[in-house]
Chains A and B, each alone.
Chain A
Amino acid sequence: MIAITKAIRFCASHRYWCPEWSEEENRARFGKCVNIHGHNYRLEVTLCGEPDPVTGMIIDLKQVKNTLCDEVIERFDHQYLNEAIPHFRQHVPTTENLVAYLHEQLRDAFPGTRLSRIRLWEDIDLYAEWEADEPC
Chain B
Amino acid sequence: MLSITRRYTFAAAHQLAHPDWDPGRNAAVYGRCANPHGHGHNYLLFVTVTGERDARTGMLVDLAAMDRVVGERVLSRLDHRFLNLEIGRFRTTVPTSEALCHFVWDELCVALAPARLVRILLYETENNCFEYRGD
Q: Are A126 and B4 interface neighbours, CB within 8 A?
A: yes
- Tell me if A128 and B60 are in contact (CB < 8 A): yes
Interface residues contributed by chain B, number (CB under 8 Å) = 17
A133 at the interface (CB under 8 A from B): yes
Interface stretch, picked from A58-66, A69-77, A88-96, A107-115, is A88-96
Residue A10 interfacial (CB < 8 Å): no
- Chain A positions 25 through 52: 1 when the CB is less than 8 Å from some CB of chain B, otherwise 0: 0000111000000000000000000000
Contacts of A131 in B (CB 8 A): 1, 3
Partner of B7, one of A96, A124, A133: A124
B28 within 8 A of A: no
Contacts of A16 in B (CB 8 A): 57-58
Q: Could you say which residues of chain A place their CB within 8 Å of the CB of B4?
A: 95-96, 126-129
CB pair B58–A92 under 8 Å, yes or no, is: yes
Interface assignment of A84: CB less than 8 Å from any CB of chain B = no
- Give the complex CA separation of A118 and B4 in angstroms: 12
Is residue A97 within 8 Å, beta carbon to beta carbon, of the partner chain? yes
Q: Mark B1-32, 1 if CB is under 8 A from A, else 0.
A: 11111111000000000000000000000000
Cβ-defined contact, B7 with A29, below 8 A: no
Name A residues whose Cβ lies closer than 8 Å to a Cβ of B. Answer: 16, 18, 29-31, 91-97, 99-100, 124-131, 133
User: Would you list 12 pairs from A and B whose C-beta atoms are within 8 A, ordered by A residue?
Assistant: A91-B58, A94-B57, A94-B58, A94-B59, A95-B4, A96-B58, A127-B4, A128-B4, A128-B5, A129-B2, A129-B3, A133-B1
